[in-house]
Structure 1
Amino acid sequence: MTVKPVFPDATPIDRLSANPFLDDVLAGLAKPQKELPAKYFYDAAGSELFEAITRLPEYYPTRTELSILDAAGPEIAAHLPRPCALVEFGAGATTKLRRLLPHLAPLGAYVPVDVSAEFLEEQAEALRADFPSLRVEPVAADFTRAFPLPGDLDGMTKAGFFPGSTIGNFEPAEAGRLLARFAEVLGAGARLIVGVDLVKETPVLEAAYDDAAGVTGRFNLNLVTRMQRELGLTLDGSGFTHRALFNPDASRIEMHLVSRAEQTVSVGGRRFSFASGETIHTENSYKYTLDGFRALAAGAGWQPLQVWTDPAGLFSVHALAVGS
C-alpha cells in the first residue's frame, strides 16, 4: 500500500524517511527477540482482516465497547465541548463514531487519522453520504509520529477519540508518551475518549486472539505477505504460523509469527536466520485495571473524568481532560 495525503496539510508516513517500513523491519529482525511494529498490520488487506476479526464470536472487545457506547452515549458526549473538532486516532472503520454521532450535535468537524489512506477515504466518503451536513477532513498519517491537523481547524476546540483498546498495543511507557502527544496535538481545553480492555480470565483472552476460524492468524501472517510484496522479502524455508498467548507477568496478550522450521529470510540486502520454533513478536495487547489506566493517564497529563464499563467488567471507556 502507498500512503497518500488526503488533506494537503497531512504528512504521510512514507515521507518521514526513505522507507520507514524497511528500516523498522531490519531493526526488528536484528534484535535477539525478533519483533515487528504492530502498526504495519494495517495495509488495505490487514485493515479488512481486522474488521472481520471484530465480528468474530470470540472477539469480545468490539461488541462490548459498542454496547457501552450505546448505553452511555449521551453521558460520554456530555464531556465533549460543543462545537468541537473530533479527531479519531487510528480511525479505521467508523462503526464506533457512528454510535456517538447522534449525541454530538453540533459537531464542528470530524478528522479521522489513519495510515491506510485507501480504506480511510472509503470510510470518509461513506460518512459524507450518510451525514451530508457533517464536515469530514481525513488525514493520512501515522498517529504515533508527529503530524499536523488541517490548518482550517485553528481556533476550534479539539477532542480526541481513541476507541478499540488500541492503547493496549503500546508498552505502558510508550502508551504514556502517546497520551502526552495526543494532549499536544489537541491543545488547550481538549478532551479524550479512550477505550481500554480490562484484565480477565486467560481462556477468554487467548480465544479472542486465536479464533477457531483462523482469521486472526491470517491477519498476523499478512505481515509476511506485505513484506514479500513491498520489501522483496524471500523465504528459504516453510514459512511461519500464528501464535497468541497471555503473559500474566506483563498483563498482556502477545502475538507471534513462529518459524515452522530452521530457515533464512532475506530482505533489504540482509539475511536473518531462524531456528525451528523461533518467533517474531508482532503485537502486544496490554490489559489494565481501572485504577491502573487512570494512573497512566494522569502521569501523561490527563485528568480522569469518568469511566463506563459493561456489566461483566470486560471493557472500559474513559473520559479524560487535559490537566490544568
Structure 2
Amino acid sequence: MSIDERTLTWMLDTDPALRWQVEKDVAHAPPEVWRATRDRVPHEGWGALLLSKQDADGQWAGGAYFPAGYFDSEEAQQPGQPWNATTWTLKDLREFGVPAHALGGTADKLAQNSRWEYDDLPYWGGEVDVCINSFTLANGAWLGVDMSALAEWFREHRLADGGWNCEAEEGDSVRSSFHSTLNALRGLLAYQRITGDRSLTEVRRSGEEYLLSRKLLYRASTGEVVAPFATHFLYPNRHVYSALAALDYFRDAADFDGTPPDERLAEAVELVRSQRQPDGTWIQSRRLPGRVWFHMDVPEGEPSPWLTLIGTRVLEWWDTTHDVAVA
C-alpha cells in the first residue's frame, strides 16, 4: 500500500513518541534510526511532559484511575471522565515507548501509596473491572512487577462465550463486550511480550475467537453491526473499541505468535480501507470528552497522524500476506 511523500513527511513531523513508530512501521527505517528517535521520548515532547507531572508519591493527579477529589467535584457530573490519573498516564508512557528505567522507583511507590477507588484495594493487585485490570497487568509487567496473579485473574474471569465484560463482576451481564474483550486481549498480549509467559496463549485465543466469530463488527444475535463505535475511528481510543483498534491488535498478535492473518478479518480490513482518504490519511471521528494533560491528536474531522500510522500498518500487514501490491 503506497503512501505519498507529502503524507509521510507530515507523519514524521511530529512528537518523537509518534515519529519513531512512523519510522519503524511506515518508513521502514533501519532499527538504529527509529531506536534513536525512541530514545528521545523520555527527554523531550510528550513523554518528558508526562514524566514531569508525576507526584512525589509516584502517582499522577493524586489518584489510581481518577484524579484525587474527582467524585466530589462538578467534573464528575460532566460527560466523559478524566484521562490524567496514574493508570492512564502509565499506559500512555508505555505505549509511547518510554523505557521502564525512566520511571525508577515508581513501582515501589505505587505499591506503597496508591489504592484503587474501588474498595481501597492495593494498586498492583488490580480490582474487579477487566479493562482496569488489563491496563494494570501490562503496566506492572513493564515496570518489573510480578503480575502473574493478576494474569491468572483473566483466565478465571472469562465468560462462557470466551470473552470478558466489565459489567460481569457486578452481575449485570453474562455476555462478553467488544470493548472489554479487546482491552483484555491487549493487556494479555503486552504481558506476554514483556514476560515471555506463553501459558496464557489459550486464554487469549478464546477472546480472539469471540471477536473473530463476529468478524470484528457484528452482533452474534442479529448479525447487525454492533454499534457505530465499531466503524468510527478515533485516537486516543482509551478503552473504546473500533474495528481499526481490533485489527491493530490482531496484527501485533500475529507478529508475536508467528501466524498469518485470520480470513475472518477481511470485512473489517475493507472497512478500514474504505475510510482511507486519497492522500493516504484517516480522519479523526471524535475526541473522548474529559480532562487530559494535553491533546495528543487532532480535533474531530481533521486528518489524524496516529490513525494514519495505525491504518497504514494494518493494511500493509494484510496486503503483504495476500499478494496485494504494496508500493
Q: State the TM-score, normalized to the length of structure 2.
A: 0.24
Greater fraction strand: 1
Q: State the TM-score, normalized to the length of structure 1.
A: 0.24
Greater fraction helix: 2
- Between 1 and 2, higher relative CO (CA 8 Å, sep ≥ 6) is seen in 1
